[in-house]
Amino acid sequence: MSKPISLLAPAKVNLFLHISGKRSDGLHLLDSLITFAGIYDSIRIKPSPVLNLSLKGPFSNKNISIENNLVLKAIKALAKYSNIEPKIDIVVTKEIPVASGLGGASVDAAATLKLLKIYWDLNIGNKTLYNIAENLGADVPACLVGKTIRVEGVGEILKEAKELPPCWFVFVNPGTQLITKEVFELRSDVFNNKYKNEKYPDNIQELEQMFSKTQNGLLKPAIQLVPEIELVIKKLRDTKNIIDARLNGSGATCFGIFPTENDAKIAVQTITKGNPHWWIKAAPLINKWDDPVFE
């Protein structure tokens, strides 16, 4: 295919994250409800004589070797499986902070797989594509689904979840990165029960009830590594009309959830006044990714 193709990859949000056990190989068992938010990385693919990956945007993080980039690993894994020489130019524009718990690397890798399946016109089943995604990282299969989804196991068990009611997030990061592996290594082997629910929230009141019965099982080790997380959550919970606040994923980004855009924007203004150096952003909940776009 000669036409450039692109896709917006929205930030991943773990509305809850329970650590329910540990396998004999050391990998932790998860129970999480994953959705997305309107903060986007952009992935664009066009023809090239050779494989070329470039990073742009405010979080392109020039200090990390491109060789370790999950997008590059996704390209090579799919190319190897499909016996294709990957002659493409791929540009990743980073608007999602790196190592922040917002899943930037995972959504970028998932977006790359989605785009390449179309770009290379691959006759490849979903199961195979999900197997490739699973080998890239625990969050990549859920991001490949591209809609609100329940995740169990080590990220490979995907269960249908209905669309959630409209609401807004306020994300706050104190300017710190957290490495997922380090957070998991620090937690004690006290496990969370799986969230037992008969149905998903239909409205803001039921969403609030779900938050009251769930948590992020990585909060304590994350606070040990970055004590400022505790202050961030307090600042969020002190804002007007907030439903709840918690750590997102393995952190260090936290989020507050609000009924309306106006509530979220007021919260941004309130928190920014006293903390101008924090990364603070409001964004709507996104139940489903947009489709790829041909240029």
Rounded-to-integer distance, Cα 240 and Cα 265, Å: 11
DSSP string, 88-139: EEEEEE--SPTTSSS-HHHHHHHHHHHHHHHHTT----HHHHHHHHHHH-TT
Taking a C-beta distance cutoff of 8 angstroms, is the pair 122, 155 a contact?
A: no
Helices (H), 176-242: 180-186, 204-212, 219-225, 228-237
Please tell me which residue in 12, 94, 114, 281 is annotated as part of the active site.
12
C-alpha to C-alpha distance for 34 and 139, rounded to whole angstroms? 9
Any catalytic annotation for residue 12? yes
DSSP secondary structure letter of residue 180: H
- SS3 state of residue 220: helix
Q: Do residues 59 and 98 touch, judged by C-beta distance below 8 A?
A: yes
- Residues 6 or more apart whose Cβ sits within 8 Å of residue 144: 110, 113, 114, 129, 130, 133
How crowded is residue 48: how many other Cβ atoms within 10 Å of its Cβ? 12
> Is 202 part of the annotated catalytic residue set?
no
Interatomic CA distance for residues 82 and 20, integer angstroms: 36
Read off the amino acid at residue 52.
N
Give the integer Cα–Cα distance in Å for 194 and 192.
Answer: 6
Find the catalytic residue in 41, 108, 139, 244.
Answer: 139
Phi, psi of 245 (to 5 degrees): -140, 145
* Catalytic (active-site) positions: 12, 139
